């Protein structure tokens, strides 16, 4: 195992609907920035990681999300490979686990409940969002806006027909949708404040509800820390006259609006992390 050898593992195409090129590009740019720091980086598809033990990389840059891949990388971790984000952190972004961990950490979200897709959920105080309980949006039907109880039942039936056993019913909260990216959930020794950027989602009628940027940074970092994420992006809602609520957090997003800046920052962070925790 080479301490300077890194593998970058792309996200599964089914998990990047409409963002395939953006997701791939941030990994390519990060690889180039790491190579400039003296690493050797090989980029791999998520189903291309069967190698002899002696060829196992010292480090893995992980965008893949499916359980079989994560299980393999857990075994690599146990034998000394450093994986960022860790397989456990990626699993923690599965929606049902994420909401449980956030509840324990005191992270505020819109009112949410976890249900079985075959359960009789009864009348629902619509409008709500019906979301599959595991991975994030991969295709039509994974995240559905449901304005009525009947629409909720239809959305759950659609998930059940696809053998998705659990779902989250989450209240629709009106407000401004804010998106953010972060590298490093918490400060590390001898490091400046972790890198963080935010922006308003473009496809909305912006109300301009006031909020404190420091509050967004604190909530996002606390949420990422609760999941164990080091490279992350997410969404929050700023309602009228109320505290913002977190909606989603993703492992290693595309960083589309800040790609060049983010790639350099991710490489700097990883170099520091790998040096502090050598394989």
CA distance 75 to 65: 15
Same-domain pairing of 157 and 54: no
Domain count, the chain: 3
Asked if residue 26 belongs to a domain, the reply is: yes
Order of strands, sheet of 166-171, starting from the edge strand that comes earlier in the sequence: 112-116, 166-171, 128-132, 143-146
CA distance 7 to 38: 14
Residues in the chain, how many?
279
Range of the domain at 231: 89-108+173-251
Same-domain pairing of 198 and 97: yes
Same-domain pairing of 75 and 94: no
Same-domain pairing of 166 and 179: no
- What pTM was computed for the model? 0.91
From the CA atom positions of the chain, what is the Rg in Å? 19
Q: Tell me, what's the pLDDT at 103?
A: 95
CATH number of residue 78's parent domain: 3.40.50.20
| 3 state DSSP class of 133 | coil
Asked if residue 206 belongs to a domain, the reply is: yes
Asked if residue 261 belongs to a domain, the reply is: no
Asked if residue 56 belongs to a domain, the reply is: yes
CA distance 146 to 162: 18
Same-domain pairing of 195 and 100: yes
Asked if residue 273 belongs to a domain, the reply is: no
Asked if residue 141 belongs to a domain, the reply is: yes
Asked if residue 179 belongs to a domain, the reply is: yes
Same-domain pairing of 178 and 247: yes
In Å, the largest CA–CA distance within the chain is: 59
Span 22-56, pLDDT tens digits? 889 999 999 999 999 999 999 999 887 666 566 78
Kindly give the parts of the chain with pLDDT less than 70.
1-3, 16-20, 49-54, 185-192, 277-279
Same-domain pairing of 162 and 132: yes
CATH number of residue 131's parent domain: 3.30.1490.20
CA distance 147 to 120: 18
Asked if residue 278 belongs to a domain, the reply is: no
Q: Tell me, what's the pLDDT at 90?
A: 96
């Amino acid at each position: 195992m080479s301490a300077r050898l890194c593998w970058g593992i792309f996200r599964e195409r089914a998990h990047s609907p409409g963002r395939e090129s953006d997701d791939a590009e941030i990994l390519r740019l990060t690889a180039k920035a790491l190579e400039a720091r003296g690493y050797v980086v090989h980029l791999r598809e998520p189903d291309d990681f069967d190698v002899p033990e002696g060829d196992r990389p010292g480090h893995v840059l992980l965008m893949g999300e499916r359980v079989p891949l994560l299980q393999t990388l857990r075994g690599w971790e146990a034998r000394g490979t450093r994986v960022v984000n860790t397989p456990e952190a990626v699993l923690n972004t599965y929606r049902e686990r994420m909401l449980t961990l956030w509840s324990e950490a005191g992270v505020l979200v819109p009112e949410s409940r976890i249900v079985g897709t075959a359960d009789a959920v009864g009348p629902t105080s619509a409008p709500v969002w019906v979301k599959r309980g595991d991975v994030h949006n991969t295709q039509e039907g994974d995240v559905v806006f449901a304005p009525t109880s009947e629409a909720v039942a239809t959305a759950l039936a659609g998930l059940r027909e696809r053998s998705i056993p659990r779902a989250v019913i989450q209240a629709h909260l009106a407000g401004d949708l804010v998106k953010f990216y972060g590298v490093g959930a918490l400060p590390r020794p001898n490091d400046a404040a972790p890198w963080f950027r935010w922006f308003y989602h473009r496809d909305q009628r912006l109300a301009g509800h006031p909020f404190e940027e420091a509050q967004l940074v604190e909530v996002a970092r606390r949420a990422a820390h609760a999941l164990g994420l080091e490279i992350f992006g997410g969404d929050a809602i700023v309602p009228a006259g109320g505290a913002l609520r977190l909606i989603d957090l993703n492992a290693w997003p595309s960083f589309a609006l800040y790609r060049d800046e983010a790639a350099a920052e991710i490489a700097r962070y990883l170099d520091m992390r790998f040096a502090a925790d050598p394989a």
